Structure 1
Amino acid sequence: MGTRAIKQKVLGLLKQDDLADIETELALLQEKELINALFSGICHSDEQIRWHAVSVMGSAVAVLAEQDMEEARIILRRMLWSLNDESGGIGWGAPESMAEIMCRHQGLADEYVHMLISYMRPDGEEECQDGNFLEHEMLQQGLMWAVGRLAQCRREYLLARGAEHDLPPYLESPDATVCGLAARAIGLLGRPEGLERLQELAKNDRRTVRLYDQGNFSTVSVAKLAELALLELQEVG
């Protein structure tokens, strides 16, 4: 099967509703061919294709890592490069895919979680201030989702690097998705950051966010995400 035919097959399957069925079908393809096709999916304009591609990218790269760790590293480096201004690309879908990959493979999380965190941090003059802050709101949306996803599966990795302290500024974002997903990530990390702002959002912010969570889509208000975060913080407090 040619490259174009593989891409068409992959994108067609990603349109389906059941993620488990999609992963089963796509697992029959050779990993590197599948992953190359998925790069078209993770930046697709169709919501279902895009998010299913993120999920499948996670499982496919994890399988590849078990076969050839260096090839898997190349995939991560390709995503990192897409977020670099010098690449000429935009990097849509890269933070989300990186997080999903690191959820599926501990070895890759060990090596790359610090890079994902760096996208929340500005660069500075000190040697330790090696941030790669993402300014574009669309990329910040993906980054906030990525931090929330890692908080579900690699929470200790984020806390060990102080990622909870990077989240409160995003609660001030004018972008509803950035703001809401930051609130969600704070709740998932379980550290009392930005409490006053979370309380304000829980009372007043009726803007809505489209949320993808491991195969499921929903629409939820920023207020609800902030409320849920506060409840989670109460439980761990």
Structure 2
Amino acid sequence: MGTRAIKQHVLELLKQDDLASIETELTLLQEKELVNALFFGICHPDERIRWHAVSAMGGAVARLAEQDMEEARVILRRMLWSLNDESGGIGWGAPESMAEIMCCHAGLADEYIHMLISYMRPDGEEEWQDGNFLEHEMLQQGLIWAVGRLAQCHKGRLLARGVEHDLPPYLASPDATVCGLAARAIGLLGRPEAMERLQELATNDQRRLRLYNHGVFTTVSVADLATQALKEMG
């Protein structure tokens, strides 16, 4: 198949309901061609296509890394560049895809997890204050989801870098998705952070948001996620 045909084939597969079946079909494609097609998917306006592409990107780049580590690094650098103001792009789907890739490949996590974390942190005068804080709320949604995803597979790596202290400010976000995902990530990390604020959200915040987790889509409230976070922290 040519490039255009592969892209169309991949997008059609991503529309399906069963993520496991989609990933099985996608393994039949050559990794470089698949990754190029998935880049169209991770910024697609259709929710199902976009999130299935994010999930599929993890396995595809991990397989590519086993064949050619430098090629895999190029993919991650491309995603990082898309989040840079100078790129001229927006970076839709980049944080989420990076998290999935790192969950599928520990070596890439070791190399790039600090870069993803930097997008929660502002730059500063001190040498260690080398942040790349994302101000756009839509990108923050993807970033905080990514932190929660990494908490499922690389919790120790996140805690070693003090990420639990970066999340509480997002609990004050006017964006329900950012706020709810921050509560979820704090719970997944399991450290007693912002307990008073989480209790307030669990009691009062009925704003709704969509949550994607391993191929499953649900609609939940901020209160639901804050309540779950409090349970996970004991």
User: Structure 2 length normalisation: TM-score?
Assistant: 1.00
SS at match of 1:53: helix
Instruction: Give 2:221's aligned residue.
Output: 221
Deviations 1:186-215 (A, max 9, x none): 000001111111000000000011000011
Q: Distance in 1 between matches of 2:208 and 2:68?
A: 42
Instruction: Please give the residue correspondences for 1:70-81 in structure 2 after superposition, counting only pairs within 5 Å.
Output: 70-81=70-81
Q: Distance in 2 between matches of 1:214 and 1:59?
A: 13
Instruction: Give 1:130's aligned residue.
Output: 130
Amino acid in the other structure paired with 1:143: L
Instruction: Give 1:62's aligned residue.
Output: 62
Match status 1:30 vs 2:30: yes
SS at match of 1:17: coil
Amino acid in the other structure paired with 1:89: G
User: Structure 1 length normalisation: TM-score?
Assistant: 0.98
Match status 1:46 vs 2:53: no
Deviations 1:131-181 (A, max 9, x none): 000000000000010000000000001000000000000000000000000
Amino acid in the other structure paired with 2:126: E
Amino acid in the other structure paired with 1:176: A
Alignment length (residue pairs)? 234
Amino acid in the other structure paired with 1:205: D
Amino acid in the other structure paired with 1:90: I
Instruction: Give 1:18's aligned residue.
Output: 18
Amino acid in the other structure paired with 2:70: E
Moved over 2 A (4+): none
Q: Distance in 2 between matches of 1:232 and 1:25?
A: 36
**Structure 1 vs Structure 2: percent identity of aligned residues?**
83
Amino acid in the other structure paired with 1:17: D
Deviation at 1:125, TM superposition (A): 0.5
Match status 1:188 vs 2:188: yes
Q: Distance in 2 between matches of 1:183 and 1:63?
A: 32
Q: Distance in 2 between matches of 1:116 and 1:209?
A: 23
Instruction: Give 1:88's aligned residue.
Output: 88
RMSD: 0.3
Q: Distance in 1 between matches of 2:151 and 2:32?
A: 28
Q: Distance in 2 between matches of 1:226 and 1:193?
A: 12
Deviation at 1:86, TM superposition (A): 0.2
Q: Distance in 1 between matches of 2:201 and 2:145?
A: 18
Q: Which runs of 5+ in 1 are unaligned?
A: none
Instruction: Give 2:139's aligned residue.
Output: 139
Instruction: Give 1:151's aligned residue.
Output: 151
